[in-house]
Amino acid sequence: MSIKELTSDQKDLIKTVKDGLRVTKVVATRAIKTRSGGDFFVGMSAVWDSVQEDAGGAGADLIDAMGDGEALVAAQHRGMGRKQAKIAATILGMEVDIQACNHALGGGAINAAEHRAALVAIRRNYKNLLVAAVQGDNKHEGGSK
């Protein structure tokens, strides 16, 4: 079955879920493998508006203290929308890539010239991605709006 074969109600359900999706945490990781055999990994996460729905995470006690339905309302109204989440992921991804390059330089896997070139390329590429994310342009991700 393809998406075109769904009933109107099924399509409306998808749209409702998609439109109500709120992202409360953004995670970005980067691994750099160099010609000299060095591997450098950096991971960062950013939490939006301190909503945590994962069990045992920061804020779990707050969610447990909420009454029936309150956690859902909090998540729906306090999380990021998809566009904001794409912008946040782009910003965090750039920071992770820069930090991974810094680690590679610090570890001696790349030289200063390679480091400078990588930073110029990272900033240029992420600037383009950020503009696309702000404008709602999906041409770089192959997805739908």
Ranges of each domain in the chain: 15-135
98-122 pLDDT, tens per residue?
999 999 999 888 999 999 999 999 9
Phi, psi of 47 (to 5 degrees): -105, 135
Predicted TM-score of the model (pTM): 0.63
Q: What is the pLDDT of residues 78-92, one digit of tens each?
A: 677 788 888 988 998
More confident residue, 59 or 128: 128
d(CA 102, CA 116) in angstroms, rounded, equals 10
